[in-house]
Structure 1
């Protein structure tokens, strides 16, 4: 009996001791991150810290757990000597505490200081997705719910905060124009002639259409039902809305004539008729979408229009962070309104696979989920703040086959082509880990089945690291199963397009950022090089492109990819050089060229590839990466590695002579013209190979629909204008003074149109969109405080008592004679405001 009691006592003690060791709750642990100093020790590095505070009753033993998080910076050194930093994969990191650090009691704290590369400029740079893992429960993560990032310390204020005076000077360039003087259609039509009178659109208006335009008329009628509460009746009468088929117009061209008695939309193609409808919608009062209307008055005018570029595209990355099907449909409505005719759908990457491939279920059961994991067999590890828990938006999610078919049908009805991107061979970690899970599933029962779609050589000992920090994200291009996988995915994607009755002419294969060192210790690669007499590891790339091109051609598809698909890596005087690859110039490769960062040396890459014969889509990071921050400010979200991209950047871009539109470098400073002295210019032949323009949103820092819309709008409207509208006079004017005058005239039209019409429309269109409202420009001049806004039509409110401005605050109408603390904020017509600007 004594022995039994002793054993029971020991067991109870062990249980109680275990509970005591882990009795603190993760909610008791408060973590604070702080930027301390950029340019630390006068080097390209910064000093920052984590502070952990115990606000629970039980002591926290720091040796009982590890702290995991996402972080986009490379930490070089922990200076406080109380912890160790470990980069696990990509931006997935953890902190392991020194074994001599035992515990922190209630109210106590510990600070970990470290040095990291580069600079930290805004809160987007801060760590995210923090969670802890107890050593005794290594498979389970516990989210840190109390986390705060403090960005500004006094010494960093001048560098990191926006200068309102600079904003004021930029805003001064915009003239305030009467709304009735504005051409109301965006993108601007080739010809617009206002005439006298209005057409009164009511539910009694009839609609008459050539059967060729039935789909376009029916879709427009559905939209009118939302506005008027009733569909228009079909009639042969000539005094309503008439869709007329005429011969001789280009594919997407249209003619629109509005008189007091009739609206006539004439086109030779269904595309043209659809775009005529979009222009007609632009002419409606912008508040027509706010509520049901009894009457919509449309000004009389005559319009003749056609696009400059046949390819007008927006790329949406849903791999890094997911967007719901409903949000994608909303984006398609937006693209259609502004005559963007292509959605480039970035469906997979290292951090996620987002499209169901029914015969390869692991792609979504494993590849679409991010959560804490020991081996990536049931999910991918966390990225971009997705944290410990599985099935959490936006880190996890995918489109079912039915979802994707619905998206394709929705896009097709709105005359939008969807180009799927399936990354190969790099940026493929999600696919690789998914097929590894499939291998593990079958290896003990059917090894042939297990290896059927395997994407890596299991004997490969190559060591490499991708730009994003991955060491296991490149498919092995020597093994047949890689191409079996690609063929299977292409086949099933093509089937979905067929079921949707949607056109598919190309698949974008990615093809970018394959790191040095990959494949160099792979037995399969060594065997391939011997068999195919491939002398150089760099030449393996062209073998892979040729194989993938054959797969696509067999399916009557052409190959699209990022710029690397058109480049050859070689060596000159011991230095690596990239040239236009002559191997594929006749293969109809479409190269999407992003790398034109001013001062990096590749400013002319798009022109070199076009001159060499490649079809080029201009995707310039300096003007069309919409995930980059609007302006340099600690409170402005977004990345900034390639530029700051406000709405003026896509608007001012000159596609066929973009050196001329280069104004600001990566830091926002004036560009030195001499960097273009030895750069290749676009030839007449090269210009014929520029197929169009594309804007991009990479989603590393996009956590949901509101952030997506904030980064997308109003930048997308600048892209729409430049892709559709004819070449502006300021793009070709040789006199720089006259060119600037003409530019400012067009920029004022655009800014006034957005502030006085388009923002009101976007408040309600497609359910309402969260476009960015700009910060107010403020400047002290002649003893008075002057304020202005980027878009005339927005209302500026201010306070003098330290409170945050609201719509009830004073309205700025003239310069203010005042000293002390002042706060300014711009508001739109639906009571939403921008960031507050503080003046002391």
Structure 2
């Protein structure tokens, strides 16, 4: 007998030659098991179960639909139609076995060489057991074409698994950009793979009404379409003229909704509808102007609107009649216990002027428009409660007092969740810091345009719905967590996938796996298998976690810059060059920080299995005369944005368009003024000051940068300035303010950058500076 060891497809194949025939068996190690989210308990035993064309699927008659996903996978990838039977044969079968002692979504899985048995108390538990089997199979099971010469083996394991939280959700905004029924169903499939159980559909917003309401047909006929301005930046789209042709949009018929809901239910997923109120409803007011305070005709906006003043009028009884009629049709379509009513970002200036609203405030004994919003939400909560449903809303529904039976979705950080849970209300945690998938996930210069902020894969993985400061009782009110994909900057299916995956996998593990069973490095290894699955399925997943980033320190004694290279994955194989040469598998492997003392062009890239992955990193470190020199701040930076503190202006590391990258120093409503001590008379010719503008985030270029020179540090003379008048800017832009000073020999350099002051939209103005380059 001869033993030959092969390595391939992530497993080891032990080929045993016996006589004239060969029988191969797969030997698995724990490193070959890459289930996401990670199971609660798992024991690996020797041996494997092999699927063949004769493998039987065993279930009671009312359970057979559960096998649909696994059957379809084998039809596509193996060309086998695995038969479903009611009675188990002697071997070679997968069986569903009901165990009523298990919690609702729990499952136990036992695999031996002869059989696979899934124990669960109901539909979702069986589904999750089958999804685990799917992830135990070779990644080629995701192929849409038959794969030849493949052993469809899974390891002999014993798994006990159940979710930590009962709300494991994902919100898809289909209003800002419309995604058709097929894409919604594809999203449901991806949620099911990760054992998620809630799809929150954001069906209504200012820019589009996406659900057919038979009693009010103009909601989709008018509200479902807008003037096509997709060629312009979201926040730079002018208000459309009344009567202009509307061609961009779409909506789901009630038949579409029924299909989506039924499909989701078959995959263990509840679809929660969101019907916004009282704000984010310009699409409804465009269709029915009488719903607003002043009944002024408007168009569906094509892009961003702020502040949102065209909102429902709570002073009119007809408003509530309309909303109740809408919700009656919505409840007929969605069996979900929860109906989301939005409740966020309502600017109530029209309510303050409206005679109907004033009358309502007086009649109800209210004092403020905030209390009027509370009246609005309480009234809708009573209506939904009378129909056996639970009102769910964004944390703004807390303002003015929370309706007794309402559940809060906390998005503005965790404060809303803390407050609501302390008052005894259930909460779903979805803080924008960890759950907003419209944020960037890597270097903004290498990423598609996004809303702003930075939410890399590793930060999503850190999410915990039970937050610091919650008592045990408050923690019991936390239903779970949810990711949100707002789509102002997400116009296509490909981009929606890019923003969602693999971050959804990290979120899924955060809300499924036990807290002590989660480890970033372990997840990093397992998620690579999921990347392979996404690749085979044709999912446009982001590889941003492989991007190379830098950490830099300066030795103030000799001015040498030490640069560390890293990616989100701690064991990443990084190859680099310091001379601008192209990166290949033969390039130098990064192992420790590199020191530079001159202007250097760094290139770096992560490699996996000898191939480059993720975007190439390239940056010129511009070594200049002030590197590491002492800096004295006359007007110091804001505590919220310190950059590299005292060395921040002279550490040569330039900031990116992500103003949270740790390189920017910020001044709020204040000028920057500092002095650099060159320590000895130094010949200079040019000084550049790097700045960032992101007006959507309240960050503006300085309107002037001035340079002053001194020999003694006391008496300064003007050496030049660079001015820039305010101009509207809808993008994010980096700019160097350059002051040519001619050849001068000096010791002290004073730099002053003048803040814009009051922002054009009112409120404060940030000014962000990353470096003073002295040449």
Q: TM-score normalized by structure 1?
A: 0.62
- Paired position in structure 1 for 2:352: 520
- Secondary structure class of the residue paired with 1:764: helix
Task: Please say if residues 235 and 304 of structure 2, whose CA atoms lie closer than 8 Å, have aligned partners that are also in contact.
Answer: no
Name which of 316, 326, 330 aligns with 1:493: 330
Name which of 43, 56, 78 aligns with 1:193: 43
Whole-angstrom CA distance in 2 between matches of 1:472 and 1:325: 31
Once the two structures are overlaid, the 10-residue window that deviates more, 689-698 or 221-230, is: 221-230
- Secondary structure class of the residue paired with 1:533: coil
Whole-angstrom CA distance in 2 between matches of 1:689 and 1:252: 19
Aligned ranges for residues 368-387 of structure 1 at < 5 Å? 368-371=224-227, 383=234
Task: Please say if residues 343 and 396 of structure 2, whose CA atoms lie closer than 8 Å, have aligned partners that are also in contact.
Answer: yes
The alpha-carbon distance between structure 1 residues 804 and 509, as it changes in their structure 2 partners (threshold 3 A), is: farther
Matched, 1:590 2:362: no
Whole-angstrom CA distance in 2 between matches of 1:329 and 1:225: 20
Name which of 97, 100, 106 aligns with 1:247: 100
- Secondary structure class of the residue paired with 2:483: strand
- Paired position in structure 1 for 2:483: 695
- Paired position in structure 2 for 1:824: 604
| CA deviation after TM superposition for structure 1 residue 238, in Å | 4.2
Aligned ranges for residues 98-117 of structure 1 at < 5 Å? none
Name which of 259, 263, 269 aligns with 1:410: 263
- Paired position in structure 2 for 1:771: 542
- Paired position in structure 2 for 1:425: 278
Name which of 655, 658, 661 aligns with 2:465: 655
Once the two structures are overlaid, the 10-residue window that deviates more, 632-641 or 706-715, is: 632-641
Whole-angstrom CA distance in 2 between matches of 1:504 and 1:420: 8
Aligned ranges for residues 60-459 of structure 1 at < 5 Å? 180-181=30-31, 183-235=33-85, 236-239=88-91, 240-290=93-143, 291-293=145-147, 294-371=150-227, 383=234, 396-436=249-289, 454-458=291-295
Once the two structures are overlaid, the 10-residue window that deviates more, 403-412 or 357-366, is: 357-366
Task: Please say if residues 617 and 690 of structure 1, whose CA atoms lie closer than 8 Å, have aligned partners that are also in contact.
Answer: yes
Name which of 358, 365, 376 aligns with 1:533: 365
The alpha-carbon distance between structure 1 residues 246 and 420, as it changes in their structure 2 partners (threshold 3 A), is: same
Task: Please say if residues 39 and 161 of structure 2, whose CA atoms lie closer than 8 Å, have aligned partners that are also in contact.
Answer: yes
Task: Please say if residues 370 and 386 of structure 1, whose CA atoms lie closer than 8 Å, have aligned partners that are also in contact.
Answer: no
Whole-angstrom CA distance in 2 between matches of 1:792 and 1:535: 56
Q: How many residues align?
A: 566
Aligned ranges for residues 803-822 of structure 1 at < 5 Å? 810=586, 813=589, 821-822=601-602
Name which of 397, 415, 433 aligns with 1:622: 433
- Paired position in structure 1 for 2:379: 547
- Secondary structure class of the residue paired with 2:615: coil
Once the two structures are overlaid, the 10-residue window that deviates more, 418-427 or 322-331, is: 322-331
| CA deviation after TM superposition for structure 1 residue 347, in Å | 0.8
- Secondary structure class of the residue paired with 1:694: strand
Q: Which has the higher contact order (CA 8 A, sep 6+)?
A: 1
- Secondary structure class of the residue paired with 1:560: strand
| CA deviation after TM superposition for structure 1 residue 604, in Å | 3.6
Whole-angstrom CA distance in 2 between matches of 1:179 and 1:644: 36
Q: TM-score normalized by structure 2?
A: 0.67
| CA deviation after TM superposition for structure 1 residue 630, in Å | 1.7
Whole-angstrom CA distance in 2 between matches of 1:343 and 1:514: 25
Task: Please say if residues 397 and 408 of structure 2, whose CA atoms lie closer than 8 Å, have aligned partners that are also in contact.
Answer: yes
| CA deviation after TM superposition for structure 1 residue 792, in Å | 7.4
Q: Which runs of 5+ in 1 are unaligned?
A: 1-177, 374-378, 437-450, 461-465, 498-502, 569-580, 597-602, 660-680, 730-742
Task: Please say if residues 627 and 638 of structure 1, whose CA atoms lie closer than 8 Å, have aligned partners that are also in contact.
Answer: no
Once the two structures are overlaid, the 10-residue window that deviates more, 276-285 or 625-634, is: 625-634
- Secondary structure class of the residue paired with 1:519: helix
The alpha-carbon distance between structure 1 residues 314 and 471, as it changes in their structure 2 partners (threshold 3 A), is: closer
Aligned ranges for residues 558-707 of structure 1 at < 5 Å? 558-568=390-400, 581=401, 584-585=403-404, 587=405, 589-596=406-413, 604-631=415-442, 633-637=444-448, 639=450, 643-656=453-466, 658-659=467-468, 681-707=469-495
| CA deviation after TM superposition for structure 1 residue 834, in Å | 2.5
The alpha-carbon distance between structure 1 residues 284 and 521, as it changes in their structure 2 partners (threshold 3 A), is: same
- Paired position in structure 2 for 1:762: 534
Greater helix share, structure number: 1
- Secondary structure class of the residue paired with 2:226: coil
Whole-angstrom CA distance in 1 between matches of 2:387 and 2:175: 25
- Secondary structure class of the residue paired with 2:614: coil
- Secondary structure class of the residue paired with 1:229: coil
Task: Please say if residues 420 and 507 of structure 1, whose CA atoms lie closer than 8 Å, have aligned partners that are also in contact.
Answer: yes
- Paired position in structure 1 for 2:623: none
| CA deviation after TM superposition for structure 1 residue 339, in Å | 0.8
| CA deviation after TM superposition for structure 1 residue 367, in Å | 1.5
Whole-angstrom CA distance in 1 between matches of 2:582 and 2:53: 44
Greater strand share, structure number: 2
Task: Please say if residues 377 and 403 of structure 2, whose CA atoms lie closer than 8 Å, have aligned partners that are also in contact.
Answer: no
Q: Deviations over 1:627-681 (max 9, x none)?
A: 111245444345566x52111122112332x34xxxxxxxxxxxxxxxxxxxxx2
Task: Please say if residues 424 and 510 of structure 1, whose CA atoms lie closer than 8 Å, have aligned partners that are also in contact.
Answer: yes
Aligned ranges for residues 447-486 of structure 1 at < 5 Å? 454-458=291-295, 468-470=305-307, 472-486=309-323
Whole-angstrom CA distance in 1 between matches of 2:227 and 2:506: 38
Task: Please say if residues 502 and 541 of structure 2, whose CA atoms lie closer than 8 Å, have aligned partners that are also in contact.
Answer: no
- Secondary structure class of the residue paired with 2:356: helix
Whole-angstrom CA distance in 2 between matches of 1:330 and 1:363: 26
Whole-angstrom CA distance in 2 between matches of 1:390 and 1:793: 55
The alpha-carbon distance between structure 1 residues 253 and 536, as it changes in their structure 2 partners (threshold 3 A), is: same
| CA deviation after TM superposition for structure 1 residue 318, in Å | 1.3
- Secondary structure class of the residue paired with 2:521: helix
The alpha-carbon distance between structure 1 residues 247 and 836, as it changes in their structure 2 partners (threshold 3 A), is: same
Matched, 1:752 2:602: no
Whole-angstrom CA distance in 1 between matches of 2:492 and 2:610: 21
Task: Please say if residues 509 and 561 of structure 1, whose CA atoms lie closer than 8 Å, have aligned partners that are also in contact.
Answer: yes
Task: Please say if residues 241 and 263 of structure 1, whose CA atoms lie closer than 8 Å, have aligned partners that are also in contact.
Answer: yes
Task: Please say if residues 628 and 638 of structure 1, whose CA atoms lie closer than 8 Å, have aligned partners that are also in contact.
Answer: no
- Paired position in structure 2 for 1:836: 616
| CA deviation after TM superposition for structure 1 residue 458, in Å | 3.3
Whole-angstrom CA distance in 2 between matches of 1:384 and 1:829: 43
| CA deviation after TM superposition for structure 1 residue 297, in Å | 1.4
Q: Deviations over 1:318-337 (max 9, x none)?
A: 11122222221111111111
| CA deviation after TM superposition for structure 1 residue 549, in Å | 1.6
The alpha-carbon distance between structure 1 residues 396 and 795, as it changes in their structure 2 partners (threshold 3 A), is: farther
The alpha-carbon distance between structure 1 residues 827 and 347, as it changes in their structure 2 partners (threshold 3 A), is: farther
Task: Please say if residues 212 and 245 of structure 1, whose CA atoms lie closer than 8 Å, have aligned partners that are also in contact.
Answer: no
Whole-angstrom CA distance in 2 between matches of 1:357 and 1:514: 24
Q: Which runs of 5+ in 2 are unaligned?
A: 1-27, 298-302, 554-559, 621-775
- Paired position in structure 2 for 1:42: none
The alpha-carbon distance between structure 1 residues 800 and 687, as it changes in their structure 2 partners (threshold 3 A), is: closer
- Secondary structure class of the residue paired with 2:346: coil
The alpha-carbon distance between structure 1 residues 396 and 718, as it changes in their structure 2 partners (threshold 3 A), is: same
The alpha-carbon distance between structure 1 residues 789 and 632, as it changes in their structure 2 partners (threshold 3 A), is: closer
